[in-house]
Amino acid sequence: MIETNETKSEKVVIQFGARTIKGYLESPAWNTIEEVLNNAPQSTLDTFRIRRLDTNLLEEVSIKDVKAVFYVNSFDGDSVRNHLNFHTRAPIVHGIWMRFQFRDGEVMEGIVYNSIRYLVDPGFFVLPTDPGSNNKLVYVMKSWLVDHRVLGLRKL
């Protein structure tokens, strides 16, 4: 397999609870969650650089107050969308199917890649299970969770 150092600008929405930042995050090019995890830094990042949508300026963002980083298809999203939960049309991805509840009451379901990184890192990646979701991938900070439950396992 030939490794490439290609990067791409990912559309992200970073939520801090009451505050939201929209912009672009430079990240290694990926097609699967396994590629994301393989290219992730081996140590925890304190900050990351985002090119703000509203100003087009690069900004260092501290990870400590972040609720979650949503990798999105569109910045517009649908705030009134009734998300589907625990349905049969979810993507078939090897991992743990989980439901999360954030401090602000938001509930989300997704597939978590079963690895040591899920246990030891301050956050983890979630692949949303709602096929109509605007979210492609979400990085959830554990400090923002009040509850998380295993709903089942998914195997290829």
Residue 43 lies in a domain: yes
pLDDT band for position 25 (50/70/90)?
confident
Residue 135 lies in a domain: yes
Q: Please tell me the predicted confidence (pLDDT) of residue 151.
A: 85
Residue 78 lies in a domain: no
Amino acid residing at 69: V
Q: Please tell me the predicted confidence (pLDDT) of residue 68.
A: 93
Q: How many domains does the chain have?
A: 1
| DSSP letter for each residue of 29-70 | --SSHHHHHHHS-SS--SEEEEEETTT--EEEEESTT-SEEE
Residue 93 lies in a domain: yes
Q: Please tell me the predicted confidence (pLDDT) of residue 143.
A: 93
pLDDT per position as a tens digit, 67-102: 999 999 998 876 655 555 555 555 555 678 889 999
Q: Please tell me the predicted confidence (pLDDT) of residue 147.
A: 95
Residue 110: give the domain boundaries.
7-72+83-154
Residue 30 lies in a domain: yes
Distances (CA, A) of 39 to 3, 6, 29, 122, 142: 11, 11, 9, 17, 21
Residue 139 lies in a domain: yes
Residue 1 lies in a domain: no
